[in-house]
Amino acid sequence: MFSQFALHERLLKAVAELKFVEPTPVQVAAIPLALQGRDLRVTAQTGSGKTAAFVLPILNRLIGPAKVRVSIRAVILLPTRELAQQTLKEVERFSQFTFIKSGLITGGEDFKVQAAMLRKVPDILIGTPGRLLEQLNAGNLDLKEVEVLVLDEADRMLDMGFAEDVQRLCDECGNREQTLLFSATTGGASLRDMIGKVLKSPEHLLVNNVSDLSENTRQQVVMADHNVHKEQILNWLLANETYQKAIIFTNTRAMADRIYGRLVAQEYKAFVLHGEKDQKDRKLAIDRLKQGGVKILVATDVAARGLDVDGLDLVINFDMPRSGDEYVHRVGRTGRAGNEGLAISLICHGDFNLMSSIERYLKQQFERRVIKEVKGTYSGPKKVKASGKAVGVKKKKVDKKAAGAKAAPKRKPAPNRPKAPALVSQDGLAPLKRRKPAAE
């Protein structure tokens, strides 16, 4: 029950209006500590209810009689526009019975309109780092009186290259009393570095380990011979699975466009979302998907970050994501807030080792599914190592003498070339593939 928290009655009224009955685990863990004013570092997966876990304590702090606003009192930083928009909606829903006003600052929107909004001084400002800094540099933003700062999806902001921008904004909120940092994963060295710099004696709440992902979402893999075969399997799945809405992930824009083209040709109501699409297209795609006019979204990772769409119950990884964290983000689009979800990854020869690294990272094995109607010949490597990876086929040694070949001249070792550090997943066990530069 939400009444277990020392929240203002107007907030409890809003919670009841939203038909939230039981708080989620992250809300149970974080709300009381946040209400005490503690700094928190929360590791909670997407869809866990983490937005309410920080929004309710902020509103509780700011609640009071209507008055002339003189300063921005809380800032929520997020990695993407969509996530910022969704968070604004959530804040507005929870603050509907209060006088608290919120504002949104993201890229892709009119700079002057935003500046005018800032002149009215919202109590809570929600935004993405890049545009917030531009507004700050233009002299439109004063963060000196900010009391609470939230860094949501902090790991994602770092992945997207916002480390310096976030740090600068944290410095601007130099008089803050509380900082709350949320991330879907435990992150790497750069997240630890940021935590050390911006949080004061934080409580670490590890609410959902990444390996809990499977709770509401079945995770399956289907073996495929090659990309054309993957397309056949995809067609079968879209025609035979029961789903309200589906999202198909690819690793490249070109593949997203190709699949989208094929779906449209088959008269599926689909949309494609990738980094080349502008803000208008992205908004349209998400709105149509939310309203149900479109059932299938084909997307690359960057484009789909932070999507929270009701009824998204099928995720298909046409290409296997390049890291365990990316997998968690993709599959986290479904099975949200207790709903059932299904995630299916299509695995060809080239995806197998990546899949087994991700299984080790998540400490779980995906269900192997065989669809007899579209079964191919590849069923995984003949032999696997203890790590779960395929045993490589050794090249036959050629007897050079017998072949009469000249022995190859010995090559000098390259002078002091620095070795790239090995990438190791967060459990410290399975080396993960180095991420290619984002193609999205």
Cα dihedral 334, 304, 435, 107 sign: negative
Strands 124-127 and 102-105: parallel
**H/E run at residue 55:** helix 50-62
Q: How far is the CB of 51 from ligand AMP (least distance, A)?
A: 3
- Provide CB contacts within 8 A for 57, sequence distance 6+: 30, 31, 34, 35
| Under rule CB under 6 A, residue 146 binds ligand AMP | no
Q: Tell me, what amino acid is at 280?
A: K
Q: How far is the CB of 30 from ligand AMP (least distance, A)?
A: 11
| Under rule CB under 6 A, residue 179 binds ligand AMP | no
Q: Tell me, what amino acid is at 438?
A: A
Our CB check for ligand AMP shows the closer of 60 and 140 to be 60
- If DSSP codes are grouped into helix, strand and coil, which group holds residue 408? coil
Give the one residue of 23, 79, 129, 335 binding ligand AMP; rule: CB under 6 A: 23
**d(C-alpha 152, C-alpha 433), whole Å:** 26
Our CB check for ligand AMP shows the closer of 143 and 180 to be 180
Give the one residue of 43, 51, 178, 334 binding ligand AMP; rule: CB under 6 A: 51
| Under rule CB under 6 A, residue 337 binds ligand AMP | yes
Our CB check for ligand AMP shows the closer of 276 and 310 to be 310
Cβ neighbours, 10 Å, residue 105: 27
- If DSSP codes are grouped into helix, strand and coil, which group holds residue 222? strand
Q: How far is the CB of 418 from ligand AMP (least distance, A)?
A: 41
Our CB check for ligand AMP shows the closer of 48 and 425 to be 48
Q: How far is the CB of 337 from ligand AMP (least distance, A)?
A: 3
Sheet holding 124-127, edge to edge: 102-105, 124-127, 74-77, 148-151, 178-183, 40-43, 203-206
| Under rule CB under 6 A, residue 47 binds ligand AMP | yes
| Under rule CB under 6 A, residue 57 binds ligand AMP | no
**Inter-CA distances, 5 with 11, 16, 29, 166, 239, Å:** 11, 13, 11, 31, 46
Give the one residue of 43, 48, 114, 317 binding ligand AMP; rule: CB under 6 A: 48
**d(C-alpha 409, C-alpha 413), whole Å:** 12
**H/E run at residue 17:** helix 9-17
Our CB check for ligand AMP shows the closer of 52 and 303 to be 52
Distance, C-alpha 201 to centroid of its chain: 26
| Under rule CB under 6 A, residue 49 binds ligand AMP | yes
The dihedral formed by the CA atoms of 116, 121, 122 and 127, expressed in degrees to the nearest 10: 60
| Under rule CB under 6 A, residue 52 binds ligand AMP | yes
| Under rule CB under 6 A, residue 38 binds ligand AMP | no
Site string for ligand AMP, 355-394 (x = CB under 6 A): ----------------------------------------
Our CB check for ligand AMP shows the closer of 53 and 117 to be 53
| Under rule CB under 6 A, residue 24 binds ligand AMP | yes
Can you give the binding site for ligand AMP, defined by CB under 6 A?
20, 22-24, 27, 46-52, 308, 336-337
